[in-house]
């Protein structure tokens, strides 16, 4: 049974967020309500929908999934980019104790949410080619050699795609990361990605 990869964590601060980067992707920990309260004017409006709130304050299209594979929203945040570009949006569903899905959006994304692993697919998402990565362990030669799409559901994985802009709003890089004890499968991750729709529609 291939082991789940373990790697040394690298931690760094982005505003009020502590990010720990492991082989299995990015785990984002919000260090208090200050992130949401002070991030942008849009967040302060508080409509209750983090995607709609975020769209008011950024110049890229914000996409919202219509399905999250039954996972409930558990967290919302996003790093403030140090280069002055628009704040990223990170919405988390589920938990790492069971199944977790994090959706990152930005232009650019000011971190490396999809982590390390092996490319296992390039499916089309809303007319754009995406990259799916499985978080197989490169330190295990046998597991790495046989790493495939099915390993997304074993070790976790990510789907990265740049989705179209609209009107005066620019295109958006969207990265979906699944992790936890029972990560989403390749097919489930792709279903979530293909359900993304602009909140302005």
Where is pLDDT greater, at 108 or 20? Answer: 108
CA separation for the pair 172, 163 (Å, rounded): 5
Q: Which of 148, 92, 89, 96 is nearest to 118 (CA)?
A: 148
pLDDT tens-digit map of 148-183? 999 999 999 999 999 999 999 999 999 999 999 999
pLDDT band at 111 (very low <50, low <70, confident <90, very high): confident
The predicted structure's pLDDT at residue 78: 86
Query: Phi and psi (nearest 5°) for 168?
Result: -85, -5
Q: pLDDT digits over 20-59, tens only?
A: 334 334 433 333 333 333 343 344 457 889 999 999 989 9
Cis peptide before 190, with omega less than 30 degrees from 0?
Answer: no
Instruction: Please state, in angstroms and rounded to a whole number, the distance separating the CA atoms of residues 149 and 131.
Output: 11
| Half-sphere CA count of 53, side-chain side, radius 13 A | 21
Q: Which helix (H) or strand (E) holds 144?
A: helix 141-145
Q: For 147, phi and psi rounded to 5 degrees? A: -60, 130
Please state, in angstroms and as integers, the Cα–Cα distance from residue 36 to each residue in 31, 64, 77, 90, 133, following that order: 10, 18, 6, 11, 30
Q: Which two tokens stand for residue 35?
A: 């992130």
Given a cut of 60, is residue 6 above it in pLDDT? no
- Span of 55-64, 76-85, 91-100 with lowest mean pLDDT: 76-85
Q: If you ran DSSP here, which 8-state letter would residue 85 be given?
A: P
């Amino acid at each position: 049974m291939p082991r789940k990869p373990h790697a040394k964590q690298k931690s760094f601060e982005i505003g009020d967020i502590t990010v720990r980067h492991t082989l299995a992707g990015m785990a984002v920990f919000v260090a208090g309500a200050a992130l949401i309260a002070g991030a942008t004017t849009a967040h302060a409006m508080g409509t209750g929908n983090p995607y709609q709130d975020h769209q008011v304050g950024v110049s890229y299209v914000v996409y919202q999934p219509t399905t999250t594979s039954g996972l409930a929203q558990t967290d919302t945040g996003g790093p403030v980019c140090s280069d002055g570009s628009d704040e990223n949006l990170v919405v988390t569903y589920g938990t790492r104790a069971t199944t977790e899905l994090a959706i990152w959006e930005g232009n650019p994304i000011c971190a490396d949410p999809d982590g390390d692993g092996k490319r296992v697919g390039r499916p089309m998402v809303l007319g754009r080619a995406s990259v799916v990565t499985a978080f197989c362990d490169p330190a295990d030669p046998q597991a790495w050699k046989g790493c495939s799409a099915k390993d997304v559901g074993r070790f976790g994985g990510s789907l990265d795609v740049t989705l179209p802009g609209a009107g005066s709003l620019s295109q958006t890089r969207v990265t979906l990361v699944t992790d936890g004890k029972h990560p989403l499968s390749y097919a489930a991750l792709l279903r979530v990605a293909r359900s993304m729709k602009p909140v302005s529609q």
